Amino acid sequence: MYRNEFDKTGKASKQGANAEQEFKNALDGFFGSNIELTGVDNGQFDHIDFRCNLSMDVDVKSIKDPATLWIEFKNVGGYDGWLYGSATHFAFERKDSFQIVTKKDLIDLVDKLVDFDTMVNSPKDCMYKMYSRKKYGRDDLLSKIHPDDLYSIPYVMIKKKSEISEISNPFL
């Protein structure tokens, strides 16, 4: 741990080292990445604490209804839905941004919120309940949660570029 000669008690260097460790833990937990602590190279101050080679496979979910998020457990063919696909992260579109969450955190959240034992017959009734369109020849299994539910799990918000947010979407 580097300690500046003016840090007489070592308090500042300890605070810095603790913040760096918390940052590493947060990135490792969110991105599941290997992050290298750079430290001080040969007495040179690069002012780079970490080299972040982040890797994500993201499934982007567009706004369909700003009051709800559809969760797909099984797709129309009866196979694993997007929740159980190969993505490591999901990016949910918002009016001016994308809210990115990890697959694991979303699955854990949905497992807590959704009543898997209660089936409903209408999509308007499937908030936190299960719904299928079998009567329409589809073998899907769906539910809805509230977009604000995502604020209870770790997330990253990425602001849209203004020219992109002008896409004609009635929900934007």
pTM value is 0.77
State the Cα–Cα distance between residues 84 and 145, nearest whole angstrom.
17
CA quadruple 13, 19, 22, 26: dihedral, nearest 10: -140
Let me know: does 37 contact 24? Beta carbons within 8 Å.
yes
Cα angle 61-156-99, degrees, rounded to a multiple of 5: 25
Confidence of residue 44 (pLDDT cuts 50, 70, 90): low
- 117-162 pLDDT per residue, tens: 999 999 999 999 999 999 888 999 999 999 999 999 999 998 887 5
- Residue in the structure block whose two tokens are 């590493």: 24
User: What are the sequence ranges of the domains in the chain?
Assistant: 11-52, 58-166
Select from 139, 140, 141, 136 the least CA-distant residue to 116. 141
